[in-house]
Structures are given as structure tokens and as C-alpha cells.
Structure 1
Amino acid sequence: MATFWIVIIAIVALLLGTVLGFFLARKYMLTYLKKNPPINEQMLRTMMMQMGQKPSQKKINQMMRSMNNQFDKK
């Protein structure tokens, strides 16, 4: 009977650890991406020039704002 409770406790601990680990890792990644965005203005400018567009500062600011808004909604 004692082994039954040990197995049940082990399964519950495993499930609890998995769920808790997932949410902690998700929170860490969201904070990391907020502090270190994957695309900055210089990268955006380079991408636009490679696509054959002449990037204006207004256009770059608009695209950065829309990307930040999209990230904040998530």
C-alpha cells in the first residue's frame, strides 16, 4: 500500500513540476524578448533596402510601432 502512495506522489510531483516549469520558462522568455527585441531599427532599415525600398524615418518608426503593438497584445 505504501508503494501506491509513493507512485501517486511521484506522478503528481512530475505533473506539477512540468506545469510550473512551463509557465516560469514562458514568463522568462517574454521578459527577455521585451528587453531585447529581435528586430531593431537598423535591422529593419537593412531589410527594407534589400527589398528595394528607400526607407524613411517615418516609415521605420511606423513599422517599429506596429511591431511593438503586436507584441504587447500577446
Structure 2
Amino acid sequence: MSTGIVILIAVIAFLLGGIGGFFLARKYMQDYLQKNPPINEEMLRTMMMSMGQKPSEKKIRQMLQQMKNQN
């Protein structure tokens, strides 16, 4: 085999691997976010009510902002 063909095959394999990896990672993240959705206002309100606290809008916004700042 000539060196040019080997290099061409290596480049094609690298590109196919990169594209395949991208789509596999994308599918994994979509499934993960579907099973474990990020916390939203309604979930936070329900959690606070289950702990016996009466959530005010100001308190919920503060907690969401704190969680956003941590990430």
C-alpha cells in the first residue's frame, strides 16, 4: 500500500469516529436530561412545601439564582 492511501484511510476513520462520537454523546445527554430534568420553579416550590415552608416568589427566585451561581 502506498503511504497516501494509508493517510487517507486514517483521516477518514478519524472523521467518522469524531462524527459518531458527537452523535452518541448528544443522544446520551438527551436521555440523561429526559430522565433527570434540571430543577425549575415548580419543582423548587413543591420541594419547599413538602418541607413545611411556605415559598414566596422572592425566596424561590433567590434560591434559583443561588443554584445558578453555583454552577
TM-score range, shorter chain: 0.5 to 0.7
Gap runs ≥5 in structure 1:
53-74
List structure 1 segments (4+ residues) > 3 angstroms apart after TM superposition: 46-49
Distance of 1:20 and 1:38 partners within structure 2: 27
TM-score scaled by structure 2?
0.59
Distance of 1:7 and 1:16 partners within structure 2: 14
- Per-residue deviation, 1:39: 1.2
Pairwise CA RMSD of aligned residues? 2.5
- Per-residue deviation, 1:27: 0.3
Count residues in correspondence. Answer: 51
- Per-residue deviation, 1:49: 4.8
TM-score scaled by structure 1?
0.57
